[in-house]
Structure 1
Amino acid sequence: MSSGASRGNRRRRGQPDSAPPEGQGKDRWILSYADFITLLFAFFVALYSLSLKNAGDSKKLTETLNGVFDAVQLSVKPINIGEPVIGEPQTDDAVEAPPIPPAAPLVEEEPVAADVPSNVFTMLNQVIESQYQGLQASGQIAITESANWVNLELKSNLLFGSGEYELSNEAVALLMQIAVILQRYPSVVLVEGDTDDLPVSSDRLISNWHLSSLRSASVVEELVYRGMDPNTVAPIGFSSTNPKVRNTNEYSRQQNRRVVLRISKQEAVNLHDYLFN
C-alpha cells in the first residue's frame, strides 16, 4: 500500500465518525452566566449591607442579607430552556388548594385600671414592715387609711433635730423610698406639719406656725427633688392646732410633733383642682 493511501487512512481515522446533532449544548452557557450574574449581584448587595452595618442600621442589614440569601437559593433552581410545557394538569390537586382560614381578628384588651390607693397602702406597709419594723414598733412610723386618705405618719424626731426644719440623712433615705412608691402610684398628696403647744425657742423661727410650715415644706421639697410631680403635692402647717393627744407631758407632746403624708384615694390631675374645683 502506498504512503499516500496510508496518510489518507490516518486522516479518516482521526476524523469523528459523525457530527453532533444540531443545537445540542449550545444553550448550556446560560446556566453558568445566570449563576455568575446572581452571585455578582449578591456580592454587591453584601457590600451594601456592610455599609448599613457600619451606619448602625441593623434592621436594614437584616432585611438586605435575607434578600441576598433568598436570591442565592433561587439561583440554584433549574432554569427552563426552550419552550415551556403548556397543557392541562393531570389532576385537580395541582390547582385546587385548601382555602386558607381567615386570621382571627385582633381584640385589643382594655387596660385594667390599677387600684391606686390600695397599692400605695400595700407597698408602703410592706416597706415599713420589712425595713423599718423597729421604728413601727416604737411608734416612729405609722400607716393607716380612712375612707378618702392613706395616712403615713412620721414623728418629727425621726426627720429633724429638736427645733430644726432641715432633714436629717436618715430622713432623706426614708423619703427616697417613699418617693419611688408615690411615683409608681401617683395621687395627690398633702404633707401636714404639726407641733406641740410649747413656744419655739429659736431666733430663726417666729412661731410654731412657722416651724410646722417649714418642716412640711422641707418634706415636699425632698419628694419633688426625688421625682414627684410638683403639681400633685403641697405642704401645709397646722402649728399646735391639731394635736393627736392632749399636751399634758413630754411623752404626749412628742406624739403631737409629727409630719403626716395624706395620700388621696380620689383621682385628680393636680392638687389645686382637687382642692378648689
Structure 2
Amino acid sequence: MKKKSGGGEGGGANWMDTYGDMVTLLLCFFVLLYSMSTVDENKWKALVQSFNPNATPAETEIEAGDSHGPFAEANDKEPGVADPDVIKEALEAAQEAMQEQINQQVDQLYDQLKQYIEESGKNIEITKGDGYVFLSLVDTVFFYPDKYDMLPEGKALLDNMGPVLKAAAPAIDEIRISGHTAQADPNEENDPEGDRMLSAERAAQVTYYLQQLCRPTGDGKPGIEPARIVGQSYGQHRPIAVNDDEHRKENRRVEMTITGKDLGNKLGDAVEQYYTQREGGSLKEDDAGSSAPTEDDSGSAPSSSGQEG
C-alpha cells in the first residue's frame, strides 16, 4: 500500500526550539555577568572553595567605583575618582607637617648657636623671630677699624658655626649678610663711596667664607646652595648706637639673618622670588618673603678707605 506523503510531519517550526534555547542561554549569561559585578566576597570565597577545597582565600581586588578602599571618597560627579577637596586637604595636611618640621629645625639651629656663643664668650648678639634667627657680629670679632680683612677670630667663629648651618640646610631659605660701618665724626658723614664699599667688602668677605664653608660636597651630606647666601651693604646708615668713642664699635659690625623656608608662601622661596621679580611678576607685601627688594645689594668691591673711626 502506497504511503501517503505528509507535508506537515517534521514541522517547519522546530527551529523555534533551538532559538528558544539560545535566548535562554544568553539570558543566563547576562544574569551571570550581572551577579559577578555585585559579587558578595564571602559567597565568592565559598564558591571557589567548593570547587577547590585547598584554595587559599585572598583579598579581592578593589575596583574603581567600589565603595571601599582608595576610591571610597564621596564624589557624586565622578564615582570611583577621589574627591578634589579630599586630595587638597591631604596635601595641606602634608604641607603643615613639613612646615612644622622646618620650624623645629630652625628652633634647633637657634638653640645650638646660642649655646655655642654663650660657651665661647664672644661678643655676639643672637635673637630669634618668627621663622628666622638673627646674629649681630661686632668688629672686635671680625674687623679692625677701616679694614675689611677678617680677623682669625672671625674665621674661627664661622668654622664652628658652619657644621650647625649645614645640618639645618634643608630648612634654610636664605642667609643674608649685612655689612655696616661706624661714623668717624658724629657731626659729619663718612665719604659715601668709601663708606659703602667698606661695608660691602665686609659683607662680601663673610659671604664668601661662609659659601666655601657650607657648600654642598656631593657626598650626600646637606649643604647650603651659594644662591641662598646673599651679601648687602648699609654703610653708616643703620646705626644701633651713638658714634662716640665708647659706643662707636657697636656700629662697626656684620649681621646675619638666617631665614627658614615658608612652604605656605605662594611666591615660593627666596630664589624663586628673585626670578619672579626678574620676569616682572607681582610681589605683594602680604606675600613677599625675605627676597623683597633691599637697598644696595652688592658683592665684592675694590679696596678703599671708609674713613671710619
Task: Give, in whole Å, the separation in 1 of the partners of 2:260 and 2:172.
Answer: 10
Could you tell me whether the CA contact under 8 Å between 1:152 and 1:262 is conserved in 2? Answer: yes
Match of 2:173 in 1: 187
Of Structure 1 and Structure 2, the greater helix share is in: 1
Deviation per residue, 1:66-96 (Å, 9 max, x gap): xxxxxxxxxxxxxxxxxxxxxxxxx969625
Change over 3 Å in CA distance of 1:170–1:98 after alignment to 2: closer
Change over 3 Å in CA distance of 1:163–1:190 after alignment to 2: same
Could you tell me whether the CA contact under 8 Å between 1:213 and 1:236 is conserved in 2? Answer: yes
Aligned-partner SS, 1:150: strand
User: Which amino acid in 2 is paired with 1:263?
Assistant: I
Task: Give, in whole Å, the separation in 2 of the partners of 1:161 and 1:178.
Answer: 27
Task: Give, in whole Å, the separation in 1 of the partners of 2:210 and 2:61.
Answer: 50
Change over 3 Å in CA distance of 1:179–1:147 after alignment to 2: closer
Change over 3 Å in CA distance of 1:214–1:103 after alignment to 2: farther
Could you tell me whether the CA contact under 8 Å between 2:172 and 2:258 is conserved in 1? Answer: no
User: Which amino acid in 2 is paired with 1:127?
Assistant: L
Match of 1:143 in 2: 126
Change over 3 Å in CA distance of 1:119–1:221 after alignment to 2: same
Task: Give, in whole Å, the separation in 2 of the partners of 1:238 and 1:193.
Answer: 6
Q: Work out the percentage of aligned pairs sharing the same amino acid.
A: 17
Match of 1:132 in 2: 117
Which one has more relative contact order, counting CA pairs under 8 Å at least 6 apart?
2
* Contiguous gaps of at least 5 residues in structure 2: 1-48, 63-68, 72-89, 186-192, 216-223, 263-268, 278-290, 294-309
Match of 1:259 in 2: 254
Could you tell me whether the CA contact under 8 Å between 1:159 and 1:170 is conserved in 2? Answer: no
| 2:59 matches 1:101 | yes
TM score, norm. by length of structure 2: 0.47
| 2:211 matches 1:224 | yes
Root-mean-square deviation over aligned CA pairs: 3.6
Aligned-partner SS, 2:172: coil
Superposition deviation, residue 133 in structure 1? 1.3
Change over 3 Å in CA distance of 1:255–1:151 after alignment to 2: same
Deviation per residue, 1:9-52 (Å, 9 max, x gap): xxxxxxxxxxxxxxxxxxxxxxxxxxxxxxxxxxxxxxxxxxxx
Task: Give, in whole Å, the separation in 1 of the partners of 2:237 and 2:136.
Answer: 17
Superposition deviation, residue 249 in structure 1? 3.0
TM score, norm. by length of structure 1: 0.52
User: Which amino acid in 2 is paired with 1:154?
Assistant: L
Could you tell me whether the CA contact under 8 Å between 1:124 and 1:181 is conserved in 2? Answer: no
Task: Give, in whole Å, the separation in 1 of the partners of 2:242 and 2:148.
Answer: 23
Change over 3 Å in CA distance of 1:92–1:186 after alignment to 2: same
Task: Give, in whole Å, the separation in 1 of the partners of 2:167 and 2:125.
Answer: 16
Deviation per residue, 1:218-249 (Å, 9 max, x gap): 11112221213222221111122111121233
Change over 3 Å in CA distance of 1:149–1:100 after alignment to 2: closer
| 2:183 matches 1:208 | no
Change over 3 Å in CA distance of 1:95–1:146 after alignment to 2: closer
> In the comparison of the two structures, how many residue pairs are matched?
177
Match of 1:235 in 2: 231
Task: Give, in whole Å, the separation in 1 of the partners of 2:234 and 2:135.
Answer: 16
